Amino acid sequence: MKRATRTNLILIGVVAALGVAVYWQVHREVARFEPPLSALDPATIRQVRVACLQCVARRFERIDGHWMMREPFNLPADDAQVARLLSIATSPVRSRRAFASLNAERLASILRW
């Protein structure tokens, strides 16, 4: 066997081993995910409201398969962006914490920044 052939076979083996390691790591991480944030099906949601402390509340409504902003303006909305917003509900969760373990004062100070 020529030296170049042997080197190529070794490199192919190293690449294959790295590929298996990456696949195993991703599979292991996905298996550890908790259930999604909610059981809502984004395809069945017809209305979305977005509200926060320091912003104008927005309301979106699905009409004939397309999203429209109804509040504060009556305009067409970007379907892809609303779909991205709805994907938050079905996002996998890496870990959960018991409510009793959270410090409400610390969370409030973080949210005020």
Per residue in 15-31, pLDDT (tens digit) is 999 999 999 999 988 77
- pLDDT, tens digit, 9 for 90 and up, residues 1-10: 799 899 999 9
Residue 101 pLDDT:
78
Residue with the bigger pLDDT between 22 and 107: it is 22
The residue ranges of every structural domain in the chain are 1-32, 37-94
pLDDT-derived band of residue 113, with 50, 70 and 90 as boundaries? low
Which among 71, 73, 41 is positioned nearest to 58, based on CA atoms? 71
Q: Are 48 and 86 in contact (CB under 8 A)?
A: yes
**Angstrom distance (rounded) from CA 101 to CA 107:** 12
Cis before 35 (ω within 30): no
* 45-72 residue pLDDT tens: 899 898 887 888 889 999 988 899 988 8
